Amino acid sequence: MKTFDCPAVLQNSSRHVPRCGTALIMVLVVIIILGALTGQLTRRSLMDRRQARSDLNLLQVEAAVQAGELLARQILQRNPDWQGTRHLVRNEKDAVSQTDFLELTVTVSDDHIVIVGRRTSQKASPIQLTRRIPVSP
């Protein structure tokens, strides 16, 4: 009783028959290429998400600094002796983490208002924006 799984095993054949492993190798090559492409797409997607988060954090810091400037000008009109304030806003979604917050510090000197906005997060790089503006007479 003879059983042959592969035509290349036939020794009586005078024609050259390709080996059975060629198809398997081609399938493995295709799987490797698809795996590499999937890995690159996943990596790219994660990088895009990280960049979007960083852009959002920067926009939040810029908005906080603008709000701090408006606050300083309004309070200085009513109270010229005001020296500044500090506000700390924590992320409500991440109550466990104590490092995810937005901090706004407004300091008034004789001739300048210094506004520092800082955003720290475990998920993104910290961002700090400082604006120094003259006090209007």
Place of tokens 């080996």: 19
Residue 123 has pLDDT above 80, yes or no: no
Tell me the residue type at 2: K
Residue 96 has pLDDT above 70, yes or no: no
User: What's the whole-number mean pLDDT along residues 59-74?
Assistant: 92
pLDDT at 106: 93
Task: Give 75-90 pLDDT, tens digit per residue.
Answer: 988 998 889 999 888 7
pLDDT at 63: 92
pLDDT at 42: 96
pLDDT at 92: 67
Task: Give 5-34 pLDDT, tens digit per residue.
Answer: 555 555 555 566 556 688 889 999 999 999
How much is the mean pLDDT over the chain?
83
Other beta carbons less than 10 A from residue 21's beta carbon: 11
Domain residue ranges in the chain: 52-134
Taking the C-alpha atoms of residue 16 and residue 14, their distance in angstroms, rounded to an integer, is 7
User: What's the whole-number mean pLDDT along residues 105-111?
Assistant: 89
Place of tokens 């059975």: 20
Q: How confident is the model at residue 131 (pLDDT cuts 50, 70, 90)?
A: very high
pLDDT at 19: 64
| Percentage of the chain exceeding pLDDT 90 | 46
- Look up the pTM and report it: 0.66
